[in-house]
Amino acid sequence: MNNAERLKALAATAKQREFDHDFLAGWEGCITWEDAPVRQPMVYPRVFVVEEEDVLAYNRALGETDPLFVDPAYARDHAPHGTVLVHPVFITTIAFWLASKGSPMSWIRTPGARNPFQRIEVKRRLEVGDRLTMRQENSDRFIRRGKPYITTHATIIDEHGAEKAEIWATLILPPTREDVRRFATV
């Protein structure tokens, strides 16, 4: 059993079962450093609906014990909006789900990519029921200490146009398709 199959077996929600955990499959279509677009704003076509099962699975996986995060009945009576609270770092789950194969930001799934830096600023609390999309733009592509870096800025937006969060990330990407092939087929 490979790692993708192991992860699939642990899936507890519909989105987790739908998510392709095999980051090596389809490597030929992944974006490399040399072909990642810069200064081209993109809006993702997919919508992430924040569902209670997604939030509960994430909060429990973190080891959260506060009933506002893990007990729907308690949260209905005590939480500000009557639903379980969404952990702020859940934003990373949303970004990965939106950046699925074939999306404009699929390079975060490129085999061999490394993430040396990211910053997330939560502007408004995520809530169960939010319908979220993402806008993203790669702002820079550069070489430092012989490694190819790309910096991106993404904004998570709700169905009313409100900005929920901003993500700034810098990744080291394989520079060419041949570099990705070497990593993915070892």
Report the distance separating Cα 136 and Cα 129, nearest Å.
Answer: 22
Beta bridge partners of 155: 135, 166
Residues 36, 138: contact at Cβ < 8 Å?
A: yes
pLDDT of residue 16: 72
pLDDT higher than threshold 70 for residue 178 = yes
Report the distance separating Cα 152 and Cα 3, nearest Å.
Answer: 28
Q: What is the dihedral of CA 37, 46, 132, 136, to 10 degrees?
A: 0
Report the distance separating Cα 87 and Cα 125, nearest Å.
Answer: 9
pLDDT of residue 101: 64
Residues 19, 97: contact at Cβ < 8 Å?
A: yes
pLDDT higher than threshold 80 for residue 43 = yes
Amino acid in position 148: P
Residues 70, 59: contact at Cβ < 8 Å?
A: yes
* Residues whose CB is less than 8 angstroms from the CB of residue 67 and which lie 6 or more positions away in sequence, other chains included: 74, 75, 78
pLDDT higher than threshold 60 for residue 104 = no
pLDDT of residue 60: 92
| Percent of the chain scoring above 70 in pLDDT | 82
- Give the tens place of pLDDT for each residue, 115-135: 788 899 999 999 999 999 999
pLDDT of residue 174: 82
User: Structure tokens of 183?
Assistant: 């990593």
pLDDT of residue 22: 67
**Average pLDDT along the chain:** 84
Domains of the chain: 3-50+101-184 (3.10.129.10)
pLDDT of residue 28: 72
Instruction: Please tell me the total number of residues recorded for the chain in this structure.
Output: 186
pLDDT of residue 36: 79
Report the distance separating Cα 142 and Cα 147, nearest Å.
Answer: 8
User: Structure tokens of 52?
Assistant: 């209670």
Report the distance separating Cα 106 and Cα 97, nearest Å.
Answer: 10
